[in-house]
Amino acid sequence: MSKKDIKVALIGNPNTGKTSLFNQLTGLTQKVGNYPGVTVDKKQGSCKLSATQNAVITDLPGTYSINPTSVDESIVLKTLLKKDIKESPDVILVVADVENLKRNLLLFSQIKDLEIPTVLAINMVDQMTRKGISIDLTALKEELNTEVVLISARKNQGIEAVKAAIIKCHVAAKATPMCDNKKIDPAYFEELKAINPNYTLYELWLMVTQKNFPEEISKQEKEKLLSFNKDVSKLKKYQHKETIYRYQEINKILKNTYLVDKSKAKDLRAKLDKVFTHRIFGYFIFLLVLLLIFQSIFDWSSLPMDLIDTTFAELSDFARSNLPTGVLSDLIVEGIIPGIGGVIIFIPQIAILFLFIAVLEETGYMSRVVFLMDKIMRRFGMNGKSIIPLISGTACAIPAIMATRTISSWKERLITILVVPFTTCSARLPVYAILISLIIPDTKIFGFYNLQAFTLLMLYALGFGTAILAAYILQKTLKIKSNSFFVVEMPNYKLPSVKNVLFDVLEKTKAFVLGAGKIILALSVVLWFLASNGPESYKNAEQNTIEKVANKNLGTDELQQKIAAVKLENSYIGIMGKSIEPAIRPLGYDWKIGIALITSFAAREVFVGTLATIYSVGSDDENTTTIKEKMRSEINPATGKKIFNFPAGMSLLVFYAFAMQCMATLAIVKRETKTWKWPLIQLFGMTGLAYVCSLIVFQILK
């Protein structure tokens, strides 16, 4: 970003196509960063406005008003009140939906009063004829005293005009307020304005009503501003009056510039709503959608996953036969290649999940689910909006916990945050997938439904059911007072935009793979080191084994296998696994699984990578089979039975369903709740529950 770049903040109501416009303007240049001091993700991208002028565009969270009712919306206020040259925007681009122009102009009127140059982009104008809407653009520009552009972001229409308007607006640097609060109570607002002439009256008013003070405000001024805050009922009354006054102004402007011929409005919405929110079909359709998602995850991803699995096994073989023998080669063949393979293999499943979630949100169907589920969720101390985090949680708990920011009641939000990690995240999927393929036969039930897919569905149900149950207990035990207020917009049904969906999937998958990938790769290398080094007994393993079996007349291959096994047992990692073996033996696990459990506390999916490393170290190197085949043939020397038999497999599935094994999630919960109390409760509560339940499962099935 150079100094000459125009800083543009993109603002708008939810469901106005703000994301489409952002994608059109910035394309592949967009990056996700953090706002300084706050935790909400900041999406930025650069845009070439003209041959000589670039812009940096920041996409702010969607909001109906500057007055925030959730954490998400408060970002908009914080960004706009800042007077910092580096951070504060030069131009604000407000996106409005042509069909809801009146309501969208409320936010616009508030932005205008901050006296920052503003461009208004009216989106979805391709729908105007169909909806019977006509706009007098010249008159509207004049009335609003602003650059107004008609666009259709999805159809890539009017984007060049937006760019030109940004430049024009920036050069003119003209910013006039739209409303004047002095009309509500002249004396009151005169006194307020006198506090600091550097701020507009509306900015000062926001500081009073939202108790949000920029750093530049002095202590004295802050006290003066706070004194306005004493009479709460008067404040509330004036806020109400202000909103009504704003709508009066907007109505005056729209009266002659925006006409709707209602007879032309054909409503597909009503017909679809009748089906999707029907008292029986509504839930039935939702259930079908969920079934479709889970079936697809298994069906669509099995081919690419097998391909990735075998490709990396072959790559290891290739590397082994072509690299000179040595420590570095061992690191590459046994540590790095299986480690990277362990990351890549999740991509198909994660991407498919994010794809479905993106499509559901894009089409507007998700809001109907919120509507259907609110009453049920409320019974469990949550909110209809909690359904989105709970479904997103099936991809990853981290974006899911961030998605709770739209819930305005603190108690409902906290409960949602606490129970989200119970939902089956994609990091559990590779663990489930490998265990299910080992212990559940690949047959059909009811003639069509795959038994393995059905088991997976049951695990999802277990995770979701536990989340709901935990929420119910938390609702009864948590003594937190917070008012529960709920309003959800039911947007128009839309066909999902391919570009928006793909960008969303790309962004989330990238963040997941890069974030989790680093941990997995680093751990793979550490594991390899721990598995191929050890104390005295490790170094003597080869000599001792040869001496011990000298009289048994073993073949070379057999001898080599024996040595490798003894070596692994005496390595550092073998010692770690063995030291926890007494605690996990009642659950049906051996020390190798013990090692995988320890490393899983970095992230669950490391389980698979760990076993990959352990077994590739433990096996003969001549033909590297896939992890799955190695696990299948693993035999417990104590019992002579297979390690991954039905009882132990089920016990492991239950353990992974309940245990809190993700450092990244704990860190995000700490960030969102601002205390270690809640993440610690999750860590010990969930893992304790996992231990007890796995113990019961194994002891019953044994």
Partner 1 sequence: MNTIASLHIGEMGYISEESLDSIPLKLLEMGCLPGAEVQLVQIAPLKDPLYICVNGSHLAIRKETASKIRILKSE
The residues with which 100 forms a beta bridge, in sequence order, are none
Tell me which of 8, 106, 162, 627 binds partner 1, using CB under 8 A. Answer: 106
Tell me which of 239, 450, 544, 625 binds partner 1, using CB under 8 A. Answer: 239
Least CB distance from residue 250 to partner 1, whole Å?
Answer: 10
CB 108 within 8 A of CB 97: no
In sequence order, the 6+-apart residues with CB closer than 8 A to the CB of 633 are 642
Write the burial class of residue 182 (CB in 10 Å: 0-12 exposed, 13-18 middle, 19+ buried).
Answer: middle
Tell me which of 39, 46, 54, 65 binds partner 1, using CB under 8 A. Answer: 65
The DSSP symbol for 121 reads E
Report the residue number, 361 or 507, with the smaller CB distance to partner 1: 361
User: Helices 337-344 and 498-531 sit at what angle, rounded to 10 degrees?
Assistant: 150
Length of the chain: 702
- Is 581 a residue that touches partner 1 (CB under 8 A)? no
Give the whole-angstrom CA distance, residue 100 versus residue 78.
Answer: 26
CB count in 10 Å sphere of residue 646? 14
Tell me which of 103, 141, 155, 632 binds partner 1, using CB under 8 A. Answer: 103
Only segment of 167-175, 265-273, 512-520, 618-626 that touches partner 1 (CB under 8 A)? 265-273
- Quote the radius of gyration of the chain (alpha carbons, Å): 30
- Is 185 a residue that touches partner 1 (CB under 8 A)? no
Report the residue number, 43 or 131, with the smaller CB distance to partner 1: 131
Report the residue number, 463 or 491, with the smaller CB distance to partner 1: 491
Q: Which of 184, 176, 175, 174 is nearest to 246 (CA)?
A: 184
Tell me which of 184, 319, 462, 490 binds partner 1, using CB under 8 A. Answer: 490
- Is 99 a residue that touches partner 1 (CB under 8 A)? yes
Contacts of the segment 112-115: beta carbons below 8 A, 24+ positions apart? 112/144, 112/146, 112/175, 112/176, 112/177, 112/178, 112/179, 113/177, 113/178, 113/179, 113/200, 113/201, 113/202, 114/80, 114/200, 114/202, 114/203, 115/175, 115/176, 115/177, 115/200
Q: Which of 69, 133, 68 is nearest to 97 (CA)?
A: 133
Q: Residue 260: helix, strand or coil by DSSP?
A: strand
Least CB distance from residue 319 to partner 1, whole Å?
Answer: 57
Give the whole-angstrom CA distance, residue 289 versus residue 300.
Answer: 16
Least CB distance from residue 154 to partner 1, whole Å?
Answer: 20
Q: Please report how many Cα atoms fall inside a 13 Å half-sphere around the Cα of residue 307, on the Cβ side.
A: 7
- Is 240 a residue that touches partner 1 (CB under 8 A)? yes
- Taking the alpha carbons at both ends of the chain, their separation in whole angstroms is 63
In sequence order, the 6+-apart residues with CB closer than 8 A to the CB of 599 are 523, 527, 606, 607, 609, 610
Report the residue number, 83 or 130, with the smaller CB distance to partner 1: 130
Least CB distance from residue 243 to partner 1, whole Å?
Answer: 5
Tell me which of 39, 243, 450, 687 binds partner 1, using CB under 8 A. Answer: 243
Tell me which of 85, 270, 327, 495 binds partner 1, using CB under 8 A. Answer: 270
Only segment of 192-200, 273-281, 286-294, 680-688 that touches partner 1 (CB under 8 A)? 273-281
- Is 561 a residue that touches partner 1 (CB under 8 A)? no
- Is 273 a residue that touches partner 1 (CB under 8 A)? yes
Cα-based distances in Å from 56 to 8, 160, 216, 265, 699: 6, 16, 24, 38, 60
Least CB distance from residue 300 to partner 1, whole Å?
Answer: 32
Query: In the range 313-372, which residues lie near partner 1 by CB under 8 A?
Result: 367, 370-372
Least CB distance from residue 132 to partner 1, whole Å?
Answer: 13
Least CB distance from residue 488 to partner 1, whole Å?
Answer: 4
The DSSP symbol for 491 reads P
Which DSSP helix (H) or strand (E) runs through 96? strand 91-97
Give the whole-angstrom CA distance, residue 67 versus residue 81.
Answer: 12
Only segment of 35-43, 79-87, 274-282, 650-658 that touches partner 1 (CB under 8 A)? 274-282
Only segment of 81-89, 334-342, 489-497, 626-634 that touches partner 1 (CB under 8 A)? 489-497
Report the residue number, 139 or 265, with the smaller CB distance to partner 1: 265
Report the residue number, 367 or 661, with the smaller CB distance to partner 1: 367
Least CB distance from residue 494 to partner 1, whole Å?
Answer: 13
Report the residue number, 276 or 591, with the smaller CB distance to partner 1: 276
Number of residues that bind partner 1 (CB under 8 A): 41
Only segment of 279-287, 328-336, 344-352, 410-418 that touches partner 1 (CB under 8 A)? 279-287
Query: In the range 589-628, which residues lie near partner 1 by CB under 8 A?
Result: none
Report the residue number, 200 or 277, with the smaller CB distance to partner 1: 277
- Is 210 a residue that touches partner 1 (CB under 8 A)? no
- Is 572 a residue that touches partner 1 (CB under 8 A)? no
CB 104 within 8 A of CB 97: yes
Tell me which of 300, 486, 493, 678 binds partner 1, using CB under 8 A. Answer: 486
Least CB distance from residue 163 to partner 1, whole Å?
Answer: 29
Least CB distance from residue 69 to partner 1, whole Å?
Answer: 5
- Is 494 a residue that touches partner 1 (CB under 8 A)? no
**Binding marks (x or -) toward partner 1, 281..310, rule CB under 8 A?**
-xx---------------------------
Report the residue number, 106 or 201, with the smaller CB distance to partner 1: 106
Report the residue number, 86 or 279, with the smaller CB distance to partner 1: 279
Give the whole-angstrom CA distance, residue 103 versus residue 96.
Answer: 9
- Is 67 a residue that touches partner 1 (CB under 8 A)? yes
Strands (E), 523-602: none
Give the whole-angstrom CA distance, residue 479 versus residue 498.
Answer: 45
Least CB distance from residue 239 to partner 1, whole Å?
Answer: 6
Least CB distance from residue 158 to partner 1, whole Å?
Answer: 22
φ and ψ at residue 623, rounded to 5 degrees: -130, 110
φ and ψ at residue 445, rounded to 5 degrees: -115, 155
Report the residue number, 110 or 545, with the smaller CB distance to partner 1: 110
Max intra-chain CA distance, the chain: 105
In sequence order, the 6+-apart residues with CB closer than 8 A to the CB of 254 are 101, 102, 105
- Is 269 a residue that touches partner 1 (CB under 8 A)? yes
- Is 491 a residue that touches partner 1 (CB under 8 A)? yes
Give the whole-angstrom CA distance, residue 86 versus residue 387.
Answer: 38
Cα-based distances in Å from 520 to 426, 572, 600, 647, 692: 14, 19, 10, 28, 28
Least CB distance from residue 679 to partner 1, whole Å?
Answer: 31
Query: In the range 361-390, which residues lie near partner 1 by CB under 8 A?
Result: 367, 370-372, 374-376, 384
HEC assignment per residue over 142-201: HHHCCEEEECEHHHCECHHHHHHHHHHHHHHCCCCCCCCHHHCCHHHHHHHHCCCCCCCH
Only segment of 65-73, 218-226, 541-549, 552-560 that touches partner 1 (CB under 8 A)? 65-73
CB 14 within 8 A of CB 64: yes
Only segment of 80-88, 235-243, 555-563, 626-634 that touches partner 1 (CB under 8 A)? 235-243
Least CB distance from residue 419 to partner 1, whole Å?
Answer: 21
CB 532 within 8 A of CB 617: yes
User: Which residues in this chain contact partner 1 in the complex, by CB under 8 A?
Assistant: 64-65, 67, 69, 99-100, 102-103, 106, 236-237, 239-240, 243-244, 247, 269-270, 273-274, 277-280, 282-283, 367, 370-372, 374-376, 384, 485-491
